[in-house]
Amino acid sequence: MALPTPEKKGRGKAIAGAGLLLGVIALGVVGLLGFRALRGDGGGAASPEAAVDDLSESFLNGQILGSASLLPPSEVAYFDDAWNSDIAQLFREETVAGAIEDSMNNNDSFEGNPFDALEEFTNAYNVELEYDSEVEMLHPDVAKVYIRGGTMTFEFDGADLSDDLIEDFVDDPAEAAEVRETTVFARATLDSDLCLDWEFTITGPEAASDSGNDCADDFNSDDFNMDGDGITGVYFMSIREGGRWYVSPMYTMAEYAREALGAGPADFTASRENASGGSDSASEAFEAFLDASADGDVEEILATLNPDEFPVVHDYFVAFESDIRDSLGDFDDRLDGRFENLELVETSAITGGTRVTMVEGEGEFSWLDDFGDTVTVEFELREGTCGRSRTTVTFQDGFVDADDWTAEECAEAEFDAAIDDLREQGGRCRLSEVIREECDGDSLMVDGELTFEDLDLPGFVTVVTQESGGGHYVSPIATMEEWAVIFTNGAEQLLEVE
Once rounded to an integer, what is the mean pLDDT over residues 306-323?
Answer: 92
Dihedral sign computed on CA atoms, order 126, 128, 133, 135: positive
Residue 22 backbone dihedrals phi, psi, to 5 degrees: -65, -35
Most confident region among 26-30, 222-226, 476-480 by mean pLDDT: 476-480
- Decide: 152 and 127 in contact? Cβ < 8 Å: yes
- Please list the helix, strand and coil fractions of the chain in percent, rounded to the nearest 5, in that order: 40, 30, 30
Q: Do 334 and 368 meet the contact criterion of CB atoms below 8 Å apart?
A: yes
- Half-sphere exposure of 389 toward its Cβ, with a 13 Å CA cutoff? 10
Residues 354, 355, 358, 364, CA torsion sign: positive
Closest alpha carbon to 83 in 487, 481, 433: 481
Element (H, E) at 375: strand 374-382
The stretches of 182-330 forming alpha helices (DSSP H) are 249-261, 282-295, 298-303, 311-328
CB atoms within 10 A of CB 342: 17
Is residue 71 within 8 A of residue 241, CB to CB? The reply is no
State the average pLDDT over residues 391-398.
Answer: 93
Residue-wise pLDDT for 136-195, tens only, equals 999 999 999 998 888 889 999 988 888 877 877 787 888 889 988 999 999 999 887 778
Mean pLDDT of the chain: 81
Q: Is 183 helix (H, G, I), strand (E, B) or coil?
A: strand
Question: d(Cα 235, Cα 148) in Å, to the nearest integer?
Answer: 9
Contacts of 191 (CB under 8 A, 6+ apart): 149, 197
- The pLDDT of residue 214 is 85
Whole-angstrom distance, CA of residue 54 vs CA of residue 58: 6
Rg (CA), the chain: 28
| Verdict on whether the full-model pTM lies above 0.85 | no
Instruction: Give the Cα separation of 328 and 314 in Å (integer).
Output: 18
- Find out whether 111 and 101 touch, Cβ atoms under 8 Å: no
Query: DSSP 3-state assignment of 412?
Result: helix
Residue 41 has pLDDT above 60, yes or no: no
Q: Which pLDDT score is estimated for 428?
A: 80
203's torsion region: left (phi>0), alpha (psi -120 to 50) or beta? Answer: beta
Whether the pLDDT of residue 12 is over 50: the answer is no
Query: Which burial class, exposed, middle or buried, applies to 374 when counting CB atoms under 10 A from its CB (0-12, 13-18, 19+)?
Result: middle
Of 288, 270, 330, residue with least CA distance to 472: 288
Residue 19 has pLDDT above 60, yes or no: no
